[in-house]
Structure 1
Amino acid sequence: MNRRVVITGLGVVAPNGVGLDAFTIAIRNGISGIKKDPELQRLQFSCQISGKPEISNEDSLKYFTELELRNFNSSGILYGVVAGMDAWKDAGLSVGITDEPDWDSGTIFGTGTSGIDKFRESIYKIDDLQTRRLGSTAVAQTMNSGVSAYIGGKLGLGNQVTTNSSACTTGAESILMSYERIKSGQAKRMLAGSTSDSGPYIWGGFDAMRVCTFKHNDTPEQASRPMSVSASGFVPGSGAGALVLEDLETALARGARIYAEVLGGNINSGGQRGLGTMTAPNPTAVKKCIKSAVENAGIEANAIDAINGHLTATSKDSLEIQNWSEALSRKGIDFPYINSLKSMVGHCLSAAGSIETVAAVLQLHQGFVFPNINCEDLHPDISSVIDASKIPKKLIETELNIIAKASFGFGDVNGCVILKKYTS
């Protein structure tokens, strides 16, 4: 079996826009969602800003019952359920209650951690002799598969329902795992995505590692500076992205709108060998991942019109550009357009790949390249490899045919997805 796989639904909970319409307006106009974070300031973090989605209790009640929200304290599950259910509805699929599970549909919805604030809240109230008082909702909110379990139950999914976890590569991995399941004929439809919790217990370790910027606490919107010579570290962020992947035949049969086609991709690891470590990528593995993704997609490297990069606003941005250039054998003016959503939302960690893929799909579907903000002072190690015009500072309206989306994560793991504008 060799089925074509298309994207028929999108959902997003991002720091600069909750919901597809708000998010689209934000990325087209270079609107930042990074703000001063009073909690990080109170706790005397070096980095006192963050990219955090805003979902009111009123909006939460559109997805959860009042009973479900009682003692609920897992932002990652909240974000994931909102993005996932929005994507499902966007695909024109029913969320009605039925007695029979939907055997043809499943979800692979990833996360880095789950319910850490819930654990902290529960444990803070008790001592070791009172552990049975953790509460009846603690398990569902803190198990790693909590987000996929909630989504699976709300949508009645009867196919594979699981959660993957590969640091910043989680979102790309969930998409490719879902793609393979549909392509092999084991499912007709999969909800792919990933989410990340908010808050100091998620971000504290990164602040301690000194990889987060501390130079823009009073100018948050200028803080995330991918590919800039003045980049000083990433801004912690959170949220969720979701995509409905579907067998083309099934999508056409029900008259679904098709955003894009997934041509293929690749996942690999540098094995923390050579220059690869727990926190640094092995360049050989990154280039191999990109080359293998292109080969798996059945395209030539020169067919790629744009790249949605990982590009975190750290010292590794120049290395990523160099890796792309060598892997594609393209440089200067021949290099594809490249952009980084992190300039507007910060680094959403395990949710980054899925939120950024939603942005990549929107670019394909609507024909634009969103701007890189805060990149007026392009790093010389980057400008020496690719032409500055390929790193747009303003919105470009142009037809795109193929976009490569890559994510590179802690643990020296890599993922690259190749997306194509749908044509029959």
Structure 2
Amino acid sequence: MSRRVVITGLGVCAPNGVGLTDFTKALTNGTSGIRFQSELERLNFGCQIAANPLVRDNILNEYFTPLQLRGLNASGIVYGVIAGMDAWTDAGLKPNATAEPYWDYGILFGTGILGVDKFREAILKIDDQNVRRLGSTSVLQTMASGISAYLGGNLGCGNQVTTNSSACTTGTEGVLMGYERISSGKAEVMLVGSCSDSGPYVWGGFDAMRILPRGYNDNPTEASRPMSASANGFVPGSGAGALVLESLESAQDRGAKIYAEVLGGEVNSGGQLGEGSMTAPNSTAVQRCIRNAVKNAGIKTEEIDVINGHLTATAKDSLEVANWSAALGRKGADFPYINSFKGMIGHCLAAAGSIECVGTILQFKEGAIFGNVNCEDVHPEITEIISETKIPRKTIAYHPKVIAKASFGFGDVNACVIFKVYGE
């Protein structure tokens, strides 16, 4: 049994826009959410810029009860609940107000590190022998599945409610996991997404590794430069993205709007063998992941119009483009259009895949390909493979039919999903 799966709702809490309207406008105009962070300067970070959503305190009451807000100190949960609840509303669904769970509705919401600030707060109180002052919410805010637990309770879902974690691949992997559950007939609706905390305790390790750009503290919006010859490391980010996946039958029965169809995809690992390592991709596995995604989606490589890559603004961007070209058997002017949103939102870590999936789907709705910010000087290794015309610097009008979105994460793990414009 294999059922068609469509996307009926989107939600986002991104560094350059909280909510679909602001996020769409930002992507269209090339607006950056990367900002100078005074706290990183105070802590003597080399890279003192980052990208985090600007969430107004006065909107939290729309998403959390007064009891939930008491002692809430986990930014990832805030971002995830906003994105998840917004996607649910956008799909025309309502929270469960009955005494019976929504047995056919589930949640799969991933994260990497959750509740770091709450962990720190707990450690300090325990060290000060004030363990009784931790409060009743410390466990919920620091367990990885805290985000899916919050959403599951808010929405009253009775199908699978769980959390996945695969580093930077988390969000894209989650889309495929939700797709498979619906396609196999185990659920009708799955809210999928991912979130990532903000702050120095999340970003500090990357700064210590010296893989973040240190020369842009005075001009942060120019720091993240995917596919650029002057790229000098990724900018850390945070936030959340969410998508409501639904069986086509359920969506049609509800009369729901449909953004796009999920055709399928692939997840795999390079095993940290060959050129693969904890931080570097095994190209054989990357290419295999892309090829199998195309095969599983039931399309041909030449049908792909657009690629939304992982493309983090590091030295590996050229290798990623080479892997796409080899996997698809396309190069030069025949290569699909390709873009990366990380020039505007930085690398949102575990939230990257879901935020970027939302942006990818919005290109169907807007009839556009969003531009590549800070890519004035395309890396020469990339232009040897593909035509520069396939790397739009600004948003262009275009009605894509098929878009491939991929994420490649720490641990040599890969995910590629294929989206298609919906047509009965």
Which TM bucket (shorter chain)?
over 0.9
Question: Following the alignment from structure 1 to structure 2, what is the Cα–Cα distance between the partners of residues 404 and 352?
Answer: 15
**Counterpart residue number, 1:264:** 264
SS in 2 for 1:243: strand
**Counterpart residue number, 1:146:** 146
**Counterpart residue number, 2:114:** 114
Question: Following the alignment from structure 1 to structure 2, what is the Cα–Cα distance between the partners of residues 229 and 127?
Answer: 48
Runs of 5+ unmatched residues, structure 2: none
Asked if residue 7 in structure 1 is aligned to residue 7 in structure 2, the reply is yes
- The question of whether the paired residues in 2 share the 8 Å contact of 1:364 and 1:402 is answered with no
**Where in structure 2 are the equivalents of 1:375-394 lying within 5 Å?**
375-394=375-394
SS in 2 for 1:125: helix
Can you list the C-alpha shifts for 1:341-400, whole angstroms capped at 9, x where unaligned?
001000000000000000010002221000001000110000110000000011111110
**Where in structure 2 are the equivalents of 1:33-52 lying within 5 Å?**
33-52=33-52
Letter in 2 for 1:267: V
Question: Following the alignment from structure 2 to structure 1, what is the Cα–Cα distance between the partners of residues 26 and 361?
Answer: 15
How big is the shift at 1:96?
Answer: 4.6
Asked if residue 19 in structure 1 is aligned to residue 19 in structure 2, the reply is yes
Question: Following the alignment from structure 2 to structure 1, what is the Cα–Cα distance between the partners of residues 395 and 364?
Answer: 14
- The question of whether the paired residues in 2 share the 8 Å contact of 1:84 and 1:151 is answered with yes
**Counterpart residue number, 1:408:** 408
How big is the shift at 1:43?
Answer: 0.6
**Counterpart residue number, 1:355:** 355
Question: Following the alignment from structure 2 to structure 1, what is the Cα–Cα distance between the partners of residues 17 and 83?
Answer: 11
- The question of whether the paired residues in 2 share the 8 Å contact of 1:122 and 1:135 is answered with no
Can you list the C-alpha shifts for 1:385-416, whole angstroms capped at 9, x where unaligned?
00000000111111100000000000000000
Which piece of structure 1 moves more, 306-315 or 129-138? 129-138
- The question of whether the paired residues in 1 share the 8 Å contact of 2:125 and 2:131 is answered with no
How big is the shift at 1:131?
Answer: 3.8
**Where in structure 2 are the equivalents of 1:187-266 lying within 5 Å?**
187-266=187-266
Letter in 1 for 2:198: S
Letter in 2 for 1:274: G
How big is the shift at 1:263?
Answer: 0.2
**Counterpart residue number, 1:54:** 54
Letter in 2 for 1:114: L
- The question of whether the paired residues in 2 share the 8 Å contact of 1:109 and 1:174 is answered with yes
How big is the shift at 1:169?
Answer: 0.2
**Counterpart residue number, 1:101:** 101
- The question of whether the paired residues in 1 share the 8 Å contact of 2:35 and 2:221 is answered with yes
Letter in 2 for 1:297: A
Can you list the C-alpha shifts for 1:212-271, whole angstroms capped at 9, x where unaligned?
111111001101000000000010100000000000011001100000000000000000
Which piece of structure 1 moves more, 66-75 or 17-26? 66-75
Question: Following the alignment from structure 1 to structure 2, what is the Cα–Cα distance between the partners of residues 56 and 368?
Answer: 30
- The question of whether the paired residues in 2 share the 8 Å contact of 1:169 and 1:408 is answered with yes
How big is the shift at 1:95?
Answer: 1.9
Which piece of structure 1 moves more, 128-137 or 188-197? 128-137
Question: Following the alignment from structure 2 to structure 1, what is the Cα–Cα distance between the partners of residues 119 and 205?
Answer: 17
Question: Following the alignment from structure 1 to structure 2, what is the Cα–Cα distance between the partners of residues 100 and 66?
Answer: 24
How big is the shift at 1:121?
Answer: 1.2
**Counterpart residue number, 1:303:** 303
**Counterpart residue number, 2:73:** 73
Question: Following the alignment from structure 2 to structure 1, what is the Cα–Cα distance between the partners of residues 366 and 248?
Answer: 20
Question: Following the alignment from structure 1 to structure 2, what is the Cα–Cα distance between the partners of residues 384 and 184?
Answer: 42
Question: Following the alignment from structure 2 to structure 1, what is the Cα–Cα distance between the partners of residues 204 and 365?
Answer: 37
**Where in structure 2 are the equivalents of 1:128-167 lying within 5 Å?**
129-167=129-167
Q: How many residues align?
A: 424
Question: Following the alignment from structure 1 to structure 2, what is the Cα–Cα distance between the partners of residues 135 and 123?
Answer: 13
SS in 1 for 2:62: coil
Letter in 2 for 1:108: L
**Counterpart residue number, 1:176:** 176
Letter in 2 for 1:245: L
How big is the shift at 1:123?
Answer: 1.4
Can you list the C-alpha shifts for 1:48-74, whole angstroms capped at 9, x where unaligned?
011110111111111012221111100
**Counterpart residue number, 1:281:** 281
**Counterpart residue number, 1:422:** 422
Question: Following the alignment from structure 1 to structure 2, what is the Cα–Cα distance between the partners of residues 129 and 52?
Answer: 33
Letter in 1 for 2:186: Q
Question: Following the alignment from structure 2 to structure 1, what is the Cα–Cα distance between the partners of residues 139 and 117?
Answer: 13
Identity of aligned residues (%): 66
**Counterpart residue number, 1:123:** 123
Question: Following the alignment from structure 1 to structure 2, what is the Cα–Cα distance between the partners of residues 365 and 169?
Answer: 24
Question: Following the alignment from structure 1 to structure 2, what is the Cα–Cα distance between the partners of residues 332 and 313?
Answer: 21
After TM superposition, the score normalised by the length of structure 1 is 0.99
- The question of whether the paired residues in 1 share the 8 Å contact of 2:5 and 2:245 is answered with yes
Question: Following the alignment from structure 1 to structure 2, what is the Cα–Cα distance between the partners of residues 18 and 100?
Answer: 32
- The question of whether the paired residues in 1 share the 8 Å contact of 2:96 and 2:102 is answered with no
Which ranges of 4 or more aligned residues in structure 1 deviate by more than 6 Å? none
Shift in CA distance, 401/374, structure 1 to aligned 2, threshold 3 Å: same
How big is the shift at 1:206?
Answer: 0.5
Asked if residue 323 in structure 1 is aligned to residue 323 in structure 2, the reply is yes
Question: Following the alignment from structure 2 to structure 1, what is the Cα–Cα distance between the partners of residues 302 and 409?
Answer: 26
After TM superposition, the score normalised by the length of structure 2 is 0.99
How big is the shift at 1:144?
Answer: 0.7
Aligned-residue CA RMSD (Å): 0.9
Runs of 5+ unmatched residues, structure 1: none
